Structure 1
């Protein structure tokens, strides 16, 4: 015997929990199935940055044509940041959201030319970017090293607490009637004559529509439905310091090396940027001391004051990726009623807008996002 719902959602990170919330809020009967604990993987293990700018490292290595193809993702992040500003009221929860702006720092003329070229593309995508010269960046960010000769400032960027966001979405979804099953084990999905079945937690769930929002496990689930999408997973690591007096109001990037830095409400400084971690014998991500040393050296060279702080924790996680860095959002070809919700690299930022778009698609509605989602369609 199976329990029937309107929609089955696979995955209990921000993508799945937010999708379940928006569906349940619209009166849709939804079951969410999570193999382990909610928010246990990338959604809870990231550093909580809220991004909008085109990532600088792939811009340098992939070029301006790639960046122009990436601009639909910028528009998605911009739409998501608009949602983030009202999310605490929407969910009735303190998500520790802070929007102080993001600052990409350049240390030489080559980096500044790269920053300026990227900013032109970002502005064309509708993103507000302010270029800063040496005097302006010193006034805006006196905490920076004297090596900084300029940068780009995006006022809509910021941070939130990744430990509480997906659980808040899940709680709101439950309040609207969603059925959420955690520690369900790996779900097995199959097509039926009138939709889809998912076997998990010793139970069978049936629905005419299915949303796969399972992060790095998405590819395997798509294959079980006869499809194929190319996704990637990369082990990376991040660090957090002891609390300090507030001195870092911005989300800080570095054009020369991988770096993100921001200070939380309690004063701890989160230091990351995508430095690689290792995989242990069981394939689990573990911190790499060499990446730790390199990451902290870059952080200290950009923001010298951080050198006086103790690191209290370093952790590793798998970040979702795609070769072109674009999200995969929409109905799976050859599997009517099955939808993919997969946002690589900046999935925490893009999670709310992607989930809202998928919830509308599942209900047969056209998402009103203000831009075309066609670039994200599963191929």
Structure 2
């Protein structure tokens, strides 16, 4: 049996501690340190019996991998330092704050010959992988329609930085949807965004309507809002996060030349009997197979450990995939601010969403 991968977690905030929990629960990794710069926080963690370190340079020498879960501006520096120390790296989404920083981190990982993974964990759900496989049943993709709308509690915006441009649903929540659409339908070529802050009246947007063009010719539309109350979002549809009540309602619909697929239920609509698919024929509704609920972060770290051990994986979000998701997320922000479509390759390398 292969020995568990010695791994550290960098950052002891909310998401960092989720990764600590996951590392402790995963049979194929072994937590060597929680890296936390704040001395008081570090002492509290040590009092809980956790192994701690003040910096990456202080973790045990046996450590072969790092999960970087610090604030976004630190993703590049911490990721780079972990690579310098010979560690494979999994970086929480977004990969970095800018395209230039992401490219530098990818280049460093390539030069070091070490895996670099972006923490877009929704790919690790069995129903996400099954959806990608089911697309073959509905023919060439025509379009996708998504609705992500939740009303965040009002005190969420008591934190000053959350009221500023760059902290709204586009930069905070959309990147998950961008990566999932890329996972299912391939690269996005162009985005056009309309944004509004009419409901909350803050400097940051609360709602955006987005139109996408994919490289394969498919089109897409997504309405995203953190001011509109609804049961439609990945979190509520899937029940992934116990903090959000599960609605079980599909929030994404994909249309192909031969049928349609709803996500995440995987309900499929097709015309039985063969022959030409056309609008005068009735559709058959096919229920998707049920899936056991899993912890996608646990599945992600298990896959990460396997990759560090030499396995190939076509589900995990690579550094390059993370860069692509970051670029198109930034493109939506740029489009919303300029009022024009933004194509892949047009986002300035130092643009941070404002």
TM-score (norm. length: structure 2): 0.29
TM-score (norm. length: structure 1): 0.28
Q: Which has the higher contact order (CA 8 A, sep 6+)?
A: 1
